[in-house]
Amino acid sequence: MWKSLGSLFVSQTCYGCEQALTSQERFVCLDCLSQIEQTHFHQRPRDNELYFRMAGQLPLAGATALFFYDKAGRLQRIMKALKYQQQPRLGPYLGSLLGESLPGSPFLAGIEAIIPVPLHRRKQLQRGYNQSERIARGLSQATGLPVRTDLLRRRRFTHTQARQAGHARWENVSGAFLAKGHCPAHVLLLDDMVTTGNTLIACAQALLAGPTPPQQISVASIGMARQD
């Protein structure tokens, strides 16, 4: 599954453990990839923890996340590098890993486009890129699905969800997104990380309230935090 992505810029050390990479490894070493627990949700997209976390709040066609996310774990270090340490090339790499897990699974059935969770313009200017869009580009390359950044925008600046607790997470993102344009019948909403699922739910609600709402929505992410 973890085939070499030789066309991408190569880091000399692993973003998960900071050990030197071999000539056959890209961005993340094989040891880290074997140690980060995969969810395998794509094999049962309507019967998994992420699906049940969100299905009661929107008409969800399917849900998947590539890895379980644990605080202070290797995936946390990788995602921190992507989001906060100016390592945008990690995005397409992670998206490709997600895409490599999906062929032959029922998850992709009927999906017409990928919609990455948008950043507010101010935050994107500060960071220089949208990490979810970068992931979407890698997923698009692996699956052939187009990336649509013109269908959803973040109209209100929001604070980082990781710093919020409980109901404050929902208040932080509720009403923050606005749908635009003609939405395909079945879209995939893509985020980098899912904790409560509130950001994806807010995005889905915006699309469903838009001028031409989708008939079906699926969701995906690289990591999913476990709930106590």
CATH assignment of the domain containing 214: 3.40.50
User: Residue 175 belongs to what domain range?
Assistant: 36-225
Q: Mean pLDDT across the stretch 207-216?
A: 94
CA distances from 13 to 1, 16, 32, 90, 149 (A): 21, 9, 12, 13, 32
Q: Mean pLDDT across the stretch 192-202?
A: 93
Any alpha helices (H) in 39-89, and if so which ranges?
49-54, 74-84
Q: Residue 152: which of 194, 183, 124, 193 has the closest Cα?
A: 183
Q: Residue 151: which of 101, 192, 117, 124 has the closest Cα?
A: 117
Number of domains in the chain: 1
Q: What is the pLDDT of residue 10?
A: 53
> Given pLDDT bands bounded at 50, 70 and 90, which one contains residue 6?
very low
Is position 45 within any domain? yes
Is position 7 within any domain? no
Is position 81 within any domain? yes
Is position 114 within any domain? yes
Is position 23 within any domain? no
Per the structure block, which two tokens stand in for 108?
């992709």
Q: Mean pLDDT across the stretch 4-16?
A: 65
> Given pLDDT bands bounded at 50, 70 and 90, which one contains residue 228?
low
Residue 160 has pLDDT above 70, yes or no: no
Is position 10 within any domain? no
The two beta strands, 152-154 and 177-179, are: antiparallel
174 alpha-carbon distance from chain centroid: 19
Query: Helix 90-100 and helix 131-143: axis angle, to 10°?
Result: 40
Residue 30 has pLDDT above 80, yes or no: yes
Whole-number percent of the chain with pLDDT over 70: 88
Average per-residue pLDDT for the chain: 89
Q: How far apart are CA 45 and CA 108, in angstroms?
A: 9
Sign of the alpha-carbon dihedral angle for 171, 56, 195, 84? negative
Contact criterion met (CB below 8 Å) for 155 and 123: no
Q: Residue 199: which of 224, 166, 177 has the closest Cα?
A: 177
> Given pLDDT bands bounded at 50, 70 and 90, which one contains residue 56?
confident
Q: Going by C-beta distance under 8 Å and a sequence separation of 6 or more, which residues neighbour residue 177?
A: 118, 152, 153, 154, 155, 202, 203, 205, 206
